[in-house]
A and B are shown apart, each in its own frame.
Chain A
Amino acid sequence: MKNTDSAPRKSRSFIQDVWYRFKKEKLAILGLVILLIIFATAILGGFLLDYEKDIITQDIPNKLASPSFQHIFGTDGFGRDIFYRIVWGARYSLLIGFSGSIIGLLVGGLMGAVAGYMGGTVDAVFMRIIDMFIALPTTILAVAIVSVLGPSLTNLIVAISIANVPSYARLTRSSVLTIKDNEFIEASTAVGGNGVHIMMQHILPNVLATLIVQFTMGVGWSITTAAGLSYLGLGVTPPDPEWGNMLSEGRDVMRYNSNLVIFPGLFIMVTVLALNLVGDGIRDAVDPKLKN
């Protein structure tokens, strides 16, 4: 978009330009590395662990064991290995976080773009609907949706996606509004470009940067909210090990063994921290003026 950094040569594309600046952000690179490790753990865990044997089979005589070489984080109230369950749980958190945000981004982005571009009555109606959703705290909205659909992984993703829609819609709308009055849009209209063409070719690439930044931060929010809903028993249900429902189990046994309430939360925190660091890095790389 804008070439504000003095160093990059003219031949670089926008993506290369962003990557060039992103590479220089040490914390963002750290975040990216952590995120890749978590992804690798989630994928490798699927190959190396056996769901029946390692994840859900109970071993009551061994319950609430302290950390040892055999069980590095100890065992839970049913004698299952906490570390293995956390590794297995990574797939749920990442799946919910990313898919909930992608669906929210697509639906919200489309709604916002149409409202912003069309203006008039469509925009007015749209803004009133968004106002309502904004006065309704998102956690409450998500709780209401999951409770209607029933607790399950798919329904949790649906709830998180719907709860994500208003913020993306509002952001896209305001970005589109600032762009659509530019001369290059007028030029495209003048040479006969239709609405869809202008939207896809000219407006979308220009609002993408803002949306990507919001997306990275949004994934962290989605992971935390999903864990919260699972904690309340409205998300992934036991015996499947989601980080949120592990914390809920941990709360009941924390007086005997605190590992089950410490480690899943630490993993949520590290994942969200990594996402936030990457998001900050992308934001600074996309628009260096924002850095501070």
Chain B
Amino acid sequence: MGRFVLKRLLQVIPVLIGISIIIFTIMQLSPSNPARLILGEKATEEQIEALSAELGTDQPAVKQYFNYMGGLLHGDLGNSYRTRMPVMDEIVDRFPTTFFLAILVMVVSTAISIPLGVLSSLRQNSLFDAITTIIALLLTAMPSFWLGLMLMLIFAEKLQWLPAIGSTEFIHFIMPTLTLSAANIASNMRMTRSSMLEVIRQDYIRTARAKGAPEKVVIVKHALKNALIPVVTAIGMNFGWSLGGAVLIESVFSMKGLGTLLLNGVRTKDVPVVMSAVLVTSLIFCVVTLLVDISYGFIDPRIKAQYENKR
């Protein structure tokens, strides 16, 4: 198991290098000059040249890339072109907001979707099943940022129960969490339902019932545990989606997270900020995917045995 984890961790490195090349290339393709964006239209050529030299953007692209990556290896994410402050400080400042939001979304959507999915599979074709199916269809089709705007309209503008914008207190996270959870709830619920429907028709479920196991045990221990693998995969994938979706949702609710940092960086062609925000997001995504893979071992002993045999 330890070797498997180490091997997977090592595989993350080339993926991150690849992503850094993709993003750096995209940023370099942009015709605008960062120095001009910072100084504005009225700046003279001399001022722009001086600032370019200071930022290092007058150097060849390949050199700029290696400078950045060299710094990264020493734990230095460079300085923001716009604020001149170390990017690391900005990331450390904003990372908790995005991460906390993604965790909240994962917890809320899992806590709601799995029980609902199990219930609708046990009552297949009932009224309850029909209602949850319709709700899931609507939630899947709803653009998340529009749902955010609707929640804002109802709870912040009309009822005035919740603050419309901000990210400093727990209360600020309620609407963004609901917004990002909605689509996850729909997809996880459908996934749990179809996975459960497949499992509860298996012979071992009949055996469990025949030997007199209580219904609760049959459902939770025998059926759900076997139905969980695809659901756990989906939860892991959705976590990555929440990190990406945060760009829009943080913007809707004016939250100070990695998403808005990235967006501002992209707009001002702040290469160190964009590179760092994307790399941190992708690193978390890779780690979460790895955790999902490891969790298979705990859910299904057969998979754990496979990991052990591979060593």
* Chain A contact residues, CB within 8 Å of chain B: 128-129, 131-133, 135-140, 143-145, 147-148, 220, 224, 227-228, 231-232, 247, 250-251, 254-255, 258, 261-262, 265, 268-270, 272-273, 276-277, 292
Residue interface mask B240-257, A partner, CB < 8 A = 1: 110111011001100000
| Residues B29 and A148 in contact, CB atoms below 8 Å apart | yes
> Are A261 and B244 in touch, CB under 8 angstroms?
no
Q: Is B15 an interface residue (CB 8 A)?
A: yes
Contact A147:B267 (CB < 8 A) given known A135-B15, A136-B19:
yes
Contact status A265-B149, CB under 8 Å: yes
User: Are A292 and B15 in contact (CB-based, < 8 A)?
Assistant: no
Contact yes or no, A265 B262, CB < 8 A? no
Residue contact B281 to A137, C-beta cutoff 8 Å: yes
Given A232-B248, A254-B152, A276-B137, verify A136-B22 contact (CB < 8 Å).
yes
**By the criterion CB–CB under 8 Å, are A137 and B285 in contact?**
yes
Nearest residue, chain B, Cβ from A291: B194
Contact of A255 among B22, B142, B157 (CB under 8 A): B157
Q: Does B282 contact A (CB under 8 A)?
A: yes
Q: A147-B267, A148-B30, A258-B153 are in contact. Are A136 and B143 (CB under 8 A)?
A: no
Partner of B244, one of A132, A139, A258, A292: A139
Cα separation A292 to B199 with both chains bound (whole Å): 13
The reply on B263 being an interface residue by CB < 8 A is yes
Chain A nearest Cβ from B187, distance in angstroms: 11
- Report the separation of the CA atoms of residues A107 and B72 in the bound assembly, to the nearest whole angstrom: 34
Residue in B27, B198, B263 with the greatest tally of chain A CB atoms within 10 Å: B263
Report which residue of B137, B248, B285 has the largest number of chain A beta carbons within 10 angstroms of its beta carbon: B248
B143 touches A232 (CB 8 A): no
B contact face: mostly helix, strand, loop, or mixed: helix
Secondary structure of the A side of the interface? helix
Residue interface mask B255-294, A partner, CB < 8 A = 1:
0000000110011000000100010011001100100000
Q: How large is the interface on B (under 10, 10 to 19, 20 to 34, 35 or more residues)?
A: 35 or more
Interface string of B26-40 (1 = CB under 8 A from A): 110110000000000
CB pair A276 B143 closer than 8 Å: no
Q: Counting CB contacts under 8 A, is B150 at the interface? A: yes
A269-B18 Cα distance, complex, nearest whole Å: 35
A-chain residues with CB within 8 Å of residue B26 when the two chains form the complex? 144-145, 148
B174 to chain A, nearest CB (A): 19
Give chain A residues whose Cβ lies under 8 Å from the Cβ of B15: 128, 131-132, 135
Chain B residues positioned under 8 Å from A250 (CB to CB): 149
B262 surroundings in chain A (CB, below 8 A)? 140, 143
**For the complex, is B128 an interface residue (Cβ under 8 Å from A)?**
no
A137–B22 CB distance below 8 A: no
Known: A135-B19, A136-B19, A144-B274. A268 touches B267 (CB 8 A): no
Residues of chain A lying within 8 A (CB to CB) of residue B282 = 135-137
Whether A254 pairs with B243 at a CB distance below 8 angstroms is no
Contact: B138 with A128, CB < 8 Å?
A: no
Contacts of A273 in B (CB 8 A): 137-138, 141
* Cβ contact within 8 Å between B281 and A143: no
Q: Which of B102-139 contact A (CB under 8 A)?
A: 137-138
**CB pair B153 A220 closer than 8 Å:** no
Query: B140 near A: Cβ within 8 Å?
Result: yes
- Judging by beta carbons under 8 Å apart, are B157 and A139 in contact? no
Q: Are A224 and B244 in contact (CB under 8 A)?
A: no
A135 contacts across to B, CB distance below 8 A: 15-16, 19, 240, 282, 285-286, 289
Given contact pairs A128-B14, A135-B15, A269 touches B142 in the complex (Cβ within 8 A): yes
- Name the CB-closest residue of B to A256: B157
- Contact check, A132 vs B153: say whether CB atoms are below 8 A apart: no
Known: A144-B23, A273-B141, A276-B137. A247 touches B263 (CB 8 A): no
